[in-house]
Each structure stands twice: as structure tokens, then as C-alpha cells.
């Protein structure tokens, strides 16, 4: 009997090993024969494997729907944003359908009580007020502008996903699973971002879809730089508690995240590095500051070695705004240091200045525009991209809020930001906070502020791939804080009740 058991075990091990070798060999042949297909297909395979694992973790169905939407929002961003289904002239984004279906399941399910309590939160009240103001505009705008009005107002409707994050955080096990999922997503996004140099070829062979115009599903990197930067501290602060990998592996992965910024060349994320350092200094997080600085040093070293090898070998790695070499990095550094010098600015800065002035002129054109905005459906700027498609929005989400909903809407939006920031800082200054929870909340605070930074130079929240993760993770952070603040109070009440019971007995 023992011999039979050992034989079965060896057969099972051999079968898994052979299967692993077969998959690895198939992927190797695919990458060697069709490198572009391999680069695009590898993240897809890893993502499908990850989704299979989350199904086995016994998550609730609404949580699975959220992960099915959030995973491609993080990795494929603008491409998945435009993946739509429907017919007869009506097409609906798949991501929004999944997220709103998850919200409906929460409303109808056993989490109804949790959802009701979250609606009384001051941050949620601000977003509900923005949503009601948007609905008042849409009564007039939808008959006049059609689906474009709904598209322009999506950032206010997707604000309800904040409540999904808050409900998710109520369960400690679910919160742990979500942080493990984030590790998985950052790992996949790291490799996907490094395929940027082949982005044009990937888009050429990618399937396309869209609500208003066709967009390739693969080969879009609009939000990748943000998640690369946030992935670096995530690996060094939270990685050791999530995986049993050696610490040096996590540091190398974090350094690789920072190295990827040289390819995506998003200057706002260079400023984001300084913001992370300032947050850590403000909070007095000496250990996290030291670990992040050491990661920066490693990342700079890895990048320097990579550039040296590339220059010696004569290989040209194409970045977003030019080749990745020492001269281009020096030029980008100069533009950051000389922002006040108009001669040092890039064409993107000049375009934004023109767009901002155009939107401000529209706002001042009418008293009603100043107070409650001009609503949705109108193109805010008269500019087109390289493909001849109207840009529609200024590259600043807060300016879009002002243009669409006036100073009333902007006041509510800024109040929401202030309340969330104050909630984070107030919690992190509380004594007796566990190191693990503190690390997660510090990272979520960095995510909140860097998302706002990214939205100040890009129309980030006007698209679902930027708005949905922002609201969901903000809600998750607020939910973590509410749970941590409630548990000490509950324990204190329980102890007082027990003491009162003993006293009455005596």
C-alpha cells in the first residue's frame, strides 16, 4: 500500500514537471519565432493564471467581477477602457459593466448594511453631491449630445466604486487577498511596460474595439508609468509579508520598476518620486524612507549599467519621447529644473498652456458656467491628436471638473480630496498602529497623491482606466482606516461591558 502511494506521488510530480517543461518550451518557441506575439501573449497567460488562482480563493462573486475589471484596467489601461459590447448602435464598456454589476450584487447581497453605513461617510457624501449635480446637467445634455454626454460624465458616476473599496476592506481576509493581487498586477505590469519599444508593432497586430472609435486592446501604456512608480515601494514595503522570496529579489524588482520609467519617460512621475520622499519625511517614516532611497540607488545603478550596455552594443531602445540614452535623460532633467524657462519647455507643455487658456475662456464666457459649469457632451478644446481624433478634454482632470460643473463642483471635488488626505494623515499619526497596516496605508496615501499628480497633467479620471482604480483604491484605504479605528473602540467597549458584568455579579 505504501509502495502504491509513493508511486502515485512520483507520477503526479512527474506529470506536473512534464507539463511545466512543455508550457515553458512552447512559450520559448513562441517568443523565438514570433517575439511580438510572445511579448503580448505572456502577460495574458500570466493574468489568466492569476485569475484562476483568485477563483480558487473562495472570493465572493462580486469580488471576482471587480478583479476581472481591475486587472486589465491596471495593465492594458486605455485599450481595455475601450473594449465594449452591444449592438444596434449602442456599445457599453466591459469594465464599467463588470464594476456596476458588482455594485448591484453588493446592494442586493448581505453587504447591504455595510454599504448603507459607507454612504454616511463625509467623503462619500461629497461624491454623491457631485453625482447629483451631474445628473441635473445630463437631463438637458443627453438629448442634445447623446452618448458623448454620458462619456464625459463617467468620472462622476464611477465615483460610486469608492464604496466597493470600502466594503471590500471590511473583511481582513479579503483585504489580504487584495494586497496579494496587487503584487501580482505590479509584477505583470513590469514586464508589459518593458514592451513599450515594440508598442507600435503590438498595436498593429492587436484586436481592436471601441465605443466611439476603434482602439487596439494591446500596446497602450497611458497609465503604466504611474503603476511602475507605485510598484517600487509596494515591493519593498509590503512584498516581504506577501511572498517568501529573498529580499534582494524584491529590491531588484523594485529597481526594475524605477528603471522602466526611463522608457516610458513620464516627467510627472519623476516629480512623484520627490512627493513620496516628502510624504515619508512628513510622517517620520525613517525605515520606509531608507528602504525607498536604497531602492532609488539600486534603480539608478541598474539604469546606468543598462544604458552603458546599450550604448556599447549600439542598440537603440526607443522611449516615449525619444531614445533611451544618457543625453535624453540629461535633457529631461533640464526641463524639470527649468520649468520657468519657456525655451526649455517641450511641445507638450506649450499645448497644455494653450488648452488651459481655451478652457478658462469658456468658463468665463457665462456666469452660469462659472457657478455650475457648462455640462457634458461639448468638446472643451479645439485640438486633435495625430490620428485626427478630437482631444476633447484638457490634460487636467480638476480643470475638467471646473469646466463641466463650475466652482460648485470644483469646491466639492477639492473638499473630497482634503477629507481623504486628512483621514490618511490623521490615522498614520495615531499611536499603536501595526507596522503591516501602517505600511499599507502609507502606500495607499502615496497612491492617492500620485494619482492626483498624474491627473493634473493627463485626462486621467476622464477615462475609466484612471478613475475606477483611483476610486476603488481610495475607498479601500478609507475602509481599512475605518476598520482599524473601530476595532480598538469595539475592544474597549467589550472590556467595559465585561468589567460591568463582573461588578454587578459581586
Q: Provide the b/e sequence for 37-75 (b: ≥16 CB within 10 Å).
A: ebbbebbbebbeebeeebeeeebbebbbbbbbbbbbbbb
User: What is the structure's pLDDT at 504?
Assistant: 42
- Domain range summary for the chain, segments of one domain joined by +: 23-50, 57-207+219-381+391-486
Nearest to 256 by CA among 192, 317, 309, 200: 192
φ/ψ (deg, to 5) at 341: -90, 115
Whole-angstrom distance, CA of residue 90 vs CA of residue 111: 32
User: What is the structure's pLDDT at 109?
Assistant: 80
Whole-angstrom distance, CA of residue 82 vs CA of residue 91: 10
User: What is the structure's pLDDT at 446?
Assistant: 96
User: What is the structure's pLDDT at 194?
Assistant: 87
The DSSP output letter for 208 is E
**265 dihedral zone (left: phi>0; alpha: psi -120 to 50; beta):** left
For residue range 44-75, what is the model confidence (pLDDT) as tens digits?
565 556 555 655 666 888 998 999 999 999 99
User: What is the structure's pLDDT at 252?
Assistant: 87
The segments of the chain whose pLDDT lies below 70 read: 1-58, 87-89, 110-113, 310, 314-315, 317, 319-322, 325-350, 384-389, 486-506
User: What is the structure's pLDDT at 43?
Assistant: 55
The percentage of the chain sitting over the pLDDT mark of 90, rounded to a whole number, equals 37
The DSSP output letter for 265 is -
C-alpha cell at 502: 463582573
DSSP output for 7-63: HHHHHHHHHHHHHHHHHHHHHHHHHHH-HHHHHHHHHHHHHHHHHHHHHHTT--HHH
Amino acid at each position: 500500500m505504501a509502495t502504491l502511494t509513493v508511486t502515485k506521488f512520483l507520477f503526479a510530480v512527474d506529470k506536473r514537471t512534464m507539463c511545466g517543461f512543455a508550457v515553458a518550451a512552447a512559450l520559448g518557441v513562441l517568443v523565438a519565432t514570433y517575439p511580438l506575439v510572445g511579448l503580448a501573449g505572456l502577460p495574458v497567460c500570466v493574468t489568466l493564471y492569476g485569475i484562476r488562482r483568485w477563483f480558487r480563493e473562495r472570493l465572493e462573486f462580486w469580488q471576482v467581477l471587480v478583479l476581472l475589471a481591475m486587472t486589465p484596467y491596471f495593465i492594458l489601461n486605455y485599450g481595455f477602457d475601450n473594449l465594449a459590447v452591444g449592438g444596434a448602435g449602442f456599445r457599453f464598456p466591459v469594465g464599467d459593466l463588470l464594476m456596476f454589476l458588482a455594485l448591484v450584487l453588493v446592494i442586493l447581497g448581505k453587504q447591504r448594511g455595510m454599504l448603507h453605513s459607507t454612504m454616511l461617510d463625509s467623503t462619500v457624501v461629497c461624491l454623491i453631491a457631485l453625482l447629483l449635480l451631474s445628473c441635473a446637467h445630463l437631463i438637458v445634455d443627453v438629448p442634445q449630445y447623446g452618448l458623448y454626454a454620458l462619456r464625459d460624465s463617467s468620472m462622476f458616476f464611477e465615483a460610486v466604486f469608492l464604496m466597493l473599496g470600502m466594503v471590500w476592506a471590511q473583511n481582513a481576509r479579503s483585504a489580504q487577498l487584495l494586497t496579494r493581487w496587487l503584487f501580482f498586477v505590479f509584477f505583470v505590469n513590469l514586464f508589459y511596460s518593458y514592451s513599450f519599444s515594440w508598442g507600435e508593432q503590438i498595436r498593429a497586430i492587436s484586436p481592436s474595439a471601441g465605443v466611439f472609435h476603434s482602439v487596439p486592446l494591446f500596446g497602450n501604456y497611458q497609465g503604466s508609468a504611474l503603476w511602475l512608480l507605485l510598484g517600487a515601494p509596494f515591493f519593498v514595503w509590503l512584498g516581504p509579508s506577501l511572498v517568501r522570496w529573498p529580499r534582494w529579489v524584491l529590491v531588484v524588482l523594485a529597481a526594475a520598476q524605477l528603471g522602466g520609467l526611463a522608457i516610458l519617460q513620464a516627467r510627472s512621475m519623476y516629480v512623484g518620486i520627490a512627493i513620496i520622499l516628502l510624504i515619508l519625511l512628513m510622517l517620520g517614516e525613517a525605515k520606509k524612507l531608507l528602504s525607498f532611497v536604497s531602492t532609488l540607488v539600486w534603480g539608478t545603478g541598474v539604469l546606468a549599467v543598462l544604458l552603458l550596455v546599450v550604448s556599447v552594443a549600439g542598440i537603440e531602445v526607443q522611449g516615449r519621447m525619444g531614445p533611451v540614452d544618457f543625453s535624453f535623460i540629461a535633457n529631461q532633467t533640464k526641463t524639470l529644473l527649468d520649468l520657468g524657462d519657456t525655451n526649455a519647455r517641450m511641445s507638450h507643455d506649450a499645448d497644455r498652456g494653450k488648452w488651459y487658456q481655451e478652457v478658462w475662456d469658456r468658463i468665463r464666457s457665462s456666469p452660469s458656467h462659472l457657478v455650475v459649469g457648462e455640462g457634458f457632451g461639448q468638446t472643451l478644446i479645439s485640438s486633435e491628436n495625430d490620428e485626427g481624433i478630437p482631444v476633447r478634454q484638457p490634460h487636467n482632470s480638476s480643470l475638467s471638473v471646473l469646466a463641466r460643473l463650475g466652482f460648485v463642483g470644483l469646491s466639492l471635488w477639492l473638499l473630497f480630496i482634503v477629507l481623504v488626505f486628512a483621514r490618511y494623515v490623521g490615522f498614520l499619526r495615531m499611536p499603536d498602529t501595526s507596522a503591516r497596516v501602517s505600511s499599507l496605508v502609507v502606500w495607499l496615501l502615496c497612491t492617492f497623491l500620485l494619482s492626483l499628480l498624474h491627473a493634473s497633467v493627463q485626462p486621467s479620471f476622464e477615462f475609466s482606466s484612471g478613475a475606477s482604480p483611483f476610486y476603488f483604491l481610495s475607498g479601500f484605504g478609507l475602509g481599512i482606516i475605518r476598520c482599524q479605528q473601530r476595532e480598538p473602540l469595539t475592544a474597549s467597549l467589550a472590556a467595559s461591558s465585561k468589567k460591568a458584568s463582573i461588578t454587578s455579579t459581586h
